[in-house]
Chain A
Amino acid sequence: MNIQSCVEVRNEWDIVKARQSGRNIAKELGFGTVDQARITTAISELARNIYLYAGSGEVAIERVENGGKFGLKIEASDSGPGIKDIRKVMEDGFTTSGGLGAGLPGVKRLMDEFTIDSKENEGTVITSIKWLR
């Protein structure tokens, strides 16, 4: 069985929808409350980035397995403007929207694995995994 869900992000309420389904899946997989909060926050950040910078996109959440280890994978994808300088967005405090600039580096710290794939004017795919311990 592969628990998964995919939420389209078009407005602010879709962010709530995305993280709610993330929290449910995390709970089903057996994550503790702290990790549930981490996962939900990470989804919230990624979904908000989609809403803020790309306008629309989707957040897919699924269960992954690697050699007996189980985890939860978040894949946030959009076809927005893309990220110009990936190294820069991973710096704490860098922001183009007047926010705190803690979103992406924060997600990296909240989760266990984190990859960005982005092309300018084509879009961005961010994949992040939290392993169940």
Chain B
Amino acid sequence: MDKLVIQLLNESRERIYTRWMDEMERVRDEHRLQSITDTAYEETNKELFEIIYTHIEQNVHRPTDRMTEFAEHLMKIGWRLSYITQGLQNFRRIILAVLLDANQSNEKVYSMYDEIDRWIDPIVNQLINESAKNWENTVSIQKVALQELSAPLIPVFENISVMPLIGTIDTERAKLIMENLLTGVIKHRSQVVLIDITGVPVVDTMVAHHIIQAAEAVRLVGAQCILVGIRPEIAQTIVNLGIDLGQFPTKSTLFKGMKTALEMTKRKMIEIE
């Protein structure tokens, strides 16, 4: 950056600071930071201001490590990135005003303007890029985590397994259900598989279709499916939709299904004395 600009900025640091703090106070509501105490907000502002200034002192055109850490920390505790970007934008507006006050020639002002833009924009861009990358990372990790939770097959007794389904079933999950069912049935040598749909909020034709297909596939590998956890309102919508679930037994609760499954494998539950 131009030496003159740096000098000017250093000279008027106090003035810039007061004006910048005023601006930041004004935009506080926009970033949903009303719940933070005044002192904490002021402290953070102060820190941000100092960090911005170190960029000038070190004359760098990208976020310093301290800036990146600061941004990461704020995001972790739930602040919005826009707080920092707006902080930088406010800063730009104010220093431009200060530079204009310094009575420079038009050309000089224009070149300063250009320089400041070239200084601040890369910093903002990189901060946004990094935070976007972080988000993408989180989302893809969560996607994997969700997939792991997606369709577990649990061997409960010898020859009897349970697949509890919770949440919405989309095409991808339907595929997983089918795969896990078939590999699980063969691995655990299950004769009966209970599919529990207590936690499935909506059973529409697609979900029903996938369940029917899964049950049919299970039948082909020599096991039997029992659909359990059918809530009354789901039973009514299935009837209204005209879906035929007649090919395999259905039960209202996992407990009843388990009893049937035990009977099918020639066992039963008894109370011991």
Contacts and interface: CB of A to CB of B under 8 A. Distances in A.
B170 A38 contact: no
A102 to B, nearest CB: 5
A21 to B, nearest CB: 13
Interface stretch (A41-49, A61-69, A75-83, A114-122): A41-49
Interface stretch (B15-23, B48-56, B105-113, B232-240): B232-240
B233 A33 contact: yes
B78 interface: no
A55 interface: no
Given A34-B232, A38-B236, A103 B205 contact: yes
Interface residues of A, number: 23
Contact of B237 (A41, A48, A99, A103): A41
A45 B207 CA distance: 10
Contacts of A44: 202, 204, 206
B267 to A, nearest CB: 35
Contacts of B246: none
Contacts of B203: 41
B237 A100 contact: no
A53 B206 CA distance: 14
A126 to B, nearest CB: 15
B231 to A, nearest CB: 8
Nearest to A52: B206
Question: What is the predominant secondary structure among interface residues of chain A facing chain B?
Answer: helix
B201 interface: yes
Contacts of B233: 33-34, 36-38
A109 B202 CA distance: 16
A13 B233 CA distance: 23
A94 to B, nearest CB: 12
A109 B203 CA distance: 15
Which range contains the number of B residues in contact with the other chain?
A: 20 to 34
Interface in B117-166: none
A95 B171 CA distance: 18
Interface in B191-235: 201-206, 208-209, 212, 232-234
B168 interface: yes
B242 A106 contact: yes
A37 B205 contact: no
A106 B171 CA distance: 20
Interface in A100-133: 100, 102-103, 105-106, 109-110
A99 B240 CA distance: 17
B171 A37 contact: no
A40 interface: yes
Contact of B240 (A13, A19, A110): A110
Nearest to A35: B233
B243 A100 contact: yes
B240 A48 contact: no
Given A100-B243, A106-B241, A110-B237, A41 B171 contact: no
A16 interface: yes
A29 to B, nearest CB: 16
A102 B242 contact: yes
Which are the 8 A-B pairs with shortest beta-carbon distances?
A106-B241, A37-B233, A44-B204, A34-B233, A12-B170, A41-B237, A109-B240, A100-B205
Given A38-B233, A48-B206, 8 more contacts: A13-B170, A19-B202, A38-B237, A40-B202, A100-B205, A103-B204, A105-B242, A109-B242
24 contacts: A12-B171, A19-B202, A34-B232, A34-B236, A37-B236, A38-B236, A40-B201, A41-B204, A41-B240, A44-B202, A45-B204, A45-B205, A45-B241, A48-B206, A100-B212, A100-B243, A102-B205, A102-B208, A103-B205, A105-B242, A106-B240, A109-B242, A110-B237, A110-B241
